[in-house]
């Protein structure tokens, strides 16, 4: 049975690629040759590692976005009380637009979850 030992610099290469660096930039950051970096990318397991790192980065960003969204909505709510009718109108439009998008997203997510649960039960 073969033991998979990460090659030197693979972790840094994967993180740099996941963060959007070019292959050459990521190789430089990981301290490896460009050719080695290109070779690493031919391995499906390494590409999955890069994708997993990218997914984790997006999940973290999404969590932060969710946390600050409450503040953004509160700011829009305050703008509804502005003396300027134009500011009130802009805030109202923003709230209604965001509300509609969020409602649609929650509906689609709910339906998708129900389909997945039904599929898993079969």
Is the pLDDT at 13 greater than 90, yes or no?
A: yes
pLDDT digits (tens, 9 = 90+) for 42-51: 999 999 999 9
Q: Is 45 exposed, middle or buried (0-12, 13-18, 19+ CB in 10 A)?
A: exposed
Domain assignment present for residue 1? The answer is: no
- Domain of residue 51 covers 7-65
Mean per-residue pLDDT, 4-12: 72
pTM of the model: 0.60
pLDDT digits (tens, 9 = 90+) for 42-78: 999 999 999 999 999 999 998 998 889 889 999 999 9
pLDDT-derived band at 6 (thresholds 50, 70, 90) equals: low
Residue 1: its pLDDT value, please? 39
18 with 61, same domain? yes
Q: How much of the chain exceeds pLDDT 90, in percent?
A: 72
57 with 88, same domain? no
Mean pLDDT for the chain overall: 90
Domain assignment present for residue 71? The answer is: no
Task: Count Cβ atoms below 10 Å from residue 61 Cβ, excluding itself.
Answer: 10
Q: Is 24 exposed, middle or buried (0-12, 13-18, 19+ CB in 10 A)?
A: exposed
- What is the Cα–Cα distance from 34 to 28, expressed in whole angstroms? 7
84 with 55, same domain? no
Domain assignment present for residue 2? The answer is: no
Domain assignment present for residue 40? The answer is: yes
46 with 86, same domain? no
């Amino acid at each position: 049975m073969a033991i998979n030992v990460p090659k030197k610099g693979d972790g840094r290469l994967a993180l740099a690629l996941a963060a959007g660096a070019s292959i050459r930039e990521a190789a430089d950051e990981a301290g490896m040759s460009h050719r080695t970096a290109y070779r690493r990318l031919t391995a499906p397991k390494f590409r999955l590692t890069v994708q997993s790192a990218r997914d984790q980065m997006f999940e973290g960003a999404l969590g932060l976005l969710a946390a600050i969204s409450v503040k953004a909505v509160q700011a829009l709510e305050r703008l509804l009380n502005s003396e300027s009718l134009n500011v009130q109108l802009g805030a109202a439009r923003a709230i209604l637009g965001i509300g509609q998008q969020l409602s649609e997203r929650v509906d689609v997510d709910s339906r998708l979850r129900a389909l997945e649960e039904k599929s898993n039960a079969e």
